């Protein structure tokens, strides 16, 4: 179990599960916070209303649950006392909530009330349910009453839908009711119905007014852009049940910000609290995280206001900010960046100044003690911000999220808030907000620097194919073959991607089910397939692999012609290469003139762009007409390569030497800055252009299959090169040894499993192997 640091400013329960906030009010000298709660387990089940009190919105005391599912209209293991809201009236607390039950005929959601005179004991109204059924024909979902006073009456809005949530044509709804006494509610109509793509069902609706502008907010299910909190601004006539929408947007652009609910404070200020969580129907949510004993975090108090252009903005409440350790930095043209180590207390980093221009990014790494990293980059020229989770802890790998944002040309401001395992960014005076949740080892540090604009760490070009691996099934030597994705260049980028690099692949597959399988494999691994071509004129390339008892391999190829050698020069995505820090290539594309020309086009584009070129001359005798021709073309790449990796078995073929030092030295004469020679179970030999050298021992392995061993080594080595951000000429021998040692560890794990791509390890396994 990871040592996950619990936030100190964000509210978390001592035990159990929490999700939506259900109200925050000031009553009898204290703030009262209510929320969805399961006090018995750290999973969603039989919802109660949790209850906590505070005098400063920072330090909270948990009380007994305010609402317990104990009535026929709310007592259900798969339902309970669902979300709602709280108002203060006649020196009493009025808690409005949805009671949810279900039976074999479907679900039943009703709107109910509980009242408290002391803020401790709550009595459910005898009139319950106040609203017994969905007021109009549509979906059966009807929940989350938000009650507020506006235009002379009490108003209640509830979320709903036009149809079943699982139906793509369903659209969210906000129903409106009105009352004069909080007990008897008249239906007014549908205040708003979603436009196509705005969400199939509206959960947790809210309404508030800033400077005569009304805002309706909701958490839409299945919104087309995966927005977690939608806002709609305009003018409202509640008596006529009319809402005139002017602008729409999101309260937060991040992965974890749901069910936001506002509450008014003195002088008309509007604040909000939200659940920092998500549901399994969201594309990036795989589970509810690895916390033990509790699950769920509520956001700190967020203040909403309109800027001079009447745009919705947010800031952190002053009381919250006062509790954080402050780091203020000025962005300047030649600023070299700064690292803020993990702190034991909540942190706010304030950045002000001018963002870098074309060709550079402002990048912020959030990292833990195991160097799991989330990278946030601001690109002023493309007017976007990206958050790359591919190197985050294993539970937080949500992919890459890109959000458009207008950045000020002269000067900007960015606030970064870190509290335990949460982070929030507010920039352009709070016009944009991004909130996330991680599961790091220990506290989170912040590393800020300017970086050259690169979209990918590593791009591979070459073959991707099916490895059919043979295995004896009987005494009669019968072989059965297992289908695995493979191909050396593809193996390399998958290995690096599994470790957290951002990678892409350029190549060709057939327009067949095997090609579909390969593309799907890369997509699932997170490798960009922008440059992968599907071509109906070719079959996907096949390789049949026979394993010896010691794990060594013999190959036979079905490739006359295979799709991998059908790649044409005009199909090379030079833009991807020019956005990559490293281009990795092999030699199998050189066996055919068509794909050979394509590879040279790619190499020239990389060389002209300053992209590092990595080369693995992977010799397969059966694919060449002669050994002489193979040597000729394999050596032709050396003049382009900055990094060359070659196996001990191939050095004589490539260089004419059997001695690893002489072979490596001869390769550097072509211009290579780093030569790596893999030595099997003995480890690796590294040789630098300045004649420094070292043998780096390997790790003990129980060898099952050596397919992909060298590729996994290369993927690990290139990942470490990208991780530092240094130019390869700047590496010391000792730093290079550490990169090689890391590659050795990756390879030692790969050979313990069958296949190539399926065998690539993740970061936690590699760290464990190194530490062992």
Catalytic residues: 20
* Dist. CA 492–CA 722, nearest whole Å: 14
Looking only at the bridges linking them, the beta strands covering 580-586 and 456-461 are parallel
* Dist. CA 546–CA 480, nearest whole Å: 10
Question: Tokens in use for 758?
Answer: 């399926």
Question: Tokens in use for 502?
Answer: 């951002």
Question: Tokens in use for 306?
Answer: 């309109």
Count of alpha carbons within 13 angstroms of residue 106, beta-carbon side: 8
Return the C-alpha torsion angle 64, 67, 68, 70, nearest 10. Answer: 140
- Please say whether the beta carbons of 391 and 456 come within 8 A: no
142 bridge partner residues = 160
Convert 399-436 into a string of H (helix), E (strand) and C (coil): CEEEEECCCCCCCEEEEEEEECCEEEEEECCCCEEEEE
- Length of the chain measured in residues: 772
* Dist. CA 496–CA 440, nearest whole Å: 20
Q: Say which residue the tokens 């909000």 belong to.
A: 272
3-class state of residue 11 by DSSP? strand
3-class state of residue 598 by DSSP? helix
Question: Tokens in use for 454?
Answer: 């690169």
Region label for 29, one of left (φ > 0), alpha (ψ between -120 and 50) or beta (otherwise): left
- If one counts every other C-beta atom within 10 angstroms of the C-beta of residue 240, the result is 9
Find, among 658, 710, 663, the residue nearest to 683 by Cα: 710
Find, among 661, 667, 721, 738, the residue nearest to 693 by Cα: 661
CA 473, 477, 478, 483 torsion-angle sign: positive
Burial class (CB within 10 angstroms; exposed 0-12, middle 13-18, buried 19+) of 608 = exposed
- If one counts every other C-beta atom within 10 angstroms of the C-beta of residue 436, the result is 25
* Dist. CA 447–CA 16, nearest whole Å: 34
- Please say whether the beta carbons of 378 and 361 come within 8 A: yes
* Dist. CA 659–CA 227, nearest whole Å: 59
Alpha-carbon radius of gyration of the chain: 30
- Please say whether the beta carbons of 192 and 243 come within 8 A: yes
* Dist. CA 94–CA 96, nearest whole Å: 6
């Amino acid at each position: 179990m990871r040592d996950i640091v619990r936030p100190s400013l964000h509210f978390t329960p001592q035990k159990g599960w929490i999700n939506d906030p259900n109200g925050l009010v000031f009553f009898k000298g204290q703030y009262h916070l209510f929320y969805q709660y399961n006090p018995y387990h750290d999973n969603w089940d039989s919802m109660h209303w949790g209850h906590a009190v505070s005098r400063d919105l920072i330090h909270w005391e948990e009380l007994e649950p305010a609402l317990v599912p104990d009535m026929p209209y709310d007592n259900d293991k798969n339902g309970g006392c669902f979300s709602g809201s709280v108002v203060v009236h006649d020196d009493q607390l009025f808690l409005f909530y949805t009671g949810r039950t279900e039976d074999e005929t479907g679900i039943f959601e009703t709107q109910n009330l509980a009242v408290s005179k002391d803020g401790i004991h709550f009595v459910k109204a005898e009139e319950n349910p106040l609203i017994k059924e969905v007021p109009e024909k549509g979906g059966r979902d009807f929940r989350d009453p938000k009650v507020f006073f506006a235009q002379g009456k009490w108003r209640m809005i509830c979320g709903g839908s036009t149809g079943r949530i699982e139906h793509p044509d369903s659209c969210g709804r906000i129903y409106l009711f009105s009352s004069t006494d909080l007990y008897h509610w008249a239906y007014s109509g549908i205040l708003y119905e979603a436009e196509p793509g705005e969400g199939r069902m509206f959960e947790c609706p809210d309404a508030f007014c800033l400077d005569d502008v009304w805002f309706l907010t909701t958490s839409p299910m299945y919104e087309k852009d995966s927005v977690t909190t939608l806002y709609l601004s305009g003018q409202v006539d509640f008596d006529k049940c009319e809402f005139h929408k002017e602008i729409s947007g999101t309260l937060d652009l991040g992965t974890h910000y749901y069910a936001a609910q506002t509450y008014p404070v003195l002088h008309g200020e509007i604040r909000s609290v939200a659940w920092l969580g998500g549901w399994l129907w969201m594309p990036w949510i795989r589970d509810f995280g690895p916390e033990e004993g509790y699950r769920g975090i509520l956001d700190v108090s967020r203040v909403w206001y309109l800027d001079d252009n009447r745009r919705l903005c947010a800031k952190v409440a002053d009381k919250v900010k006062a509790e954080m350790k402050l780091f203020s930095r000025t962005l300047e043209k030649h600023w070299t960046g700064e690292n803020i180590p993990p702190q034991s207390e909540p942190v706010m980093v304030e950045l002000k100044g001018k963002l870098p221009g074309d060709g550079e990014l402002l990048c912020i790494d959030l990292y833990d003690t195991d160097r799991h990293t989330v990278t946030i980059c601001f690109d002023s020229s493309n007017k976007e911000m990206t958050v790359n989770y591919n190197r985050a802890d294993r539970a937080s790998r949500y992919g890459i999220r890109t959000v458009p944002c207008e950045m000020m040309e002269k000067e900007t401001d960015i606030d970064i808030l870190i509290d335990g395992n949460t982070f929030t960014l507010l920039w352009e005076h709070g016009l944009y907000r991004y909130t996330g949740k991680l599961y790091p080892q220990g506290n989170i540090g912040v590393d800020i620097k300017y970086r050259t604009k690169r979209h990918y760490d590593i791009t591979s070009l070459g073959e991707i194919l099916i490895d059919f691996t043979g295995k004896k099934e009987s005494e009669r030597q019968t072989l059965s073959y297992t289908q695995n994705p493979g191909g050396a260049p593809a193996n390399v980028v998958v290995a690096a991607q599994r470790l957290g690099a951002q990678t892409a692949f350029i190549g060709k597959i057939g327009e067949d089910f095997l090609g579909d399988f390969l593309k799907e494999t890369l997509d699932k691994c997170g490798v960009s397939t922008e440059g992968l071509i599907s071509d109906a004129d070719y079959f996907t390339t096949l390789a049949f692999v026979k394993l010896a008892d010691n794990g060594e391999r013999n190959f036979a190829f079905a490739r006359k012609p295979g799709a991998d050698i059908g790649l044409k020069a005009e199909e090379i995505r030079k833009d991807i290469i020019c956005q990559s820090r490293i281009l990795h290539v092999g030699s199998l594309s050189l066996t055919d003139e068509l794909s050979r020309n394509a590879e040279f086009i790619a190499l020239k584009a990389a060389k002209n762009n300053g992209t590092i070129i990595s080369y693995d001359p992977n010799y397969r005798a059966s694919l060449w007409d002669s050994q002489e021709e193979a040597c000729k073309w394999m050596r032709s790449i050396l003049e382009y390569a900055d990094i060359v990796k070659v196996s001990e078995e191939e050095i004589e073929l490539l260089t004419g030497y059997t001695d690893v030092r002489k072979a490596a030295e001869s390769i550097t004469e072509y211009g290579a800055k780093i030569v790596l020679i893999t030595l099997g179970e003995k480890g690796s030999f590294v040789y630098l252009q300045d004649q420094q050298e070292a043998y780096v021992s390997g790790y003990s392995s129980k060898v099952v299959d050596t397919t992909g061993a060298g590729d996994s080594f290369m993927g690990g080595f290139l990942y470490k090169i990208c991780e530092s951000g240094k130019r390869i000429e700047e590496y010391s021998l000792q730093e290079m040894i550490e990169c090689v040692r890391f590659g050795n560890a990756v390879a030692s794990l790969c050979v313990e499993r069958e296949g190539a791509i399926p065998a690539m390890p993740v970061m936690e396994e590699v760290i464990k192997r190194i530490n062992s």
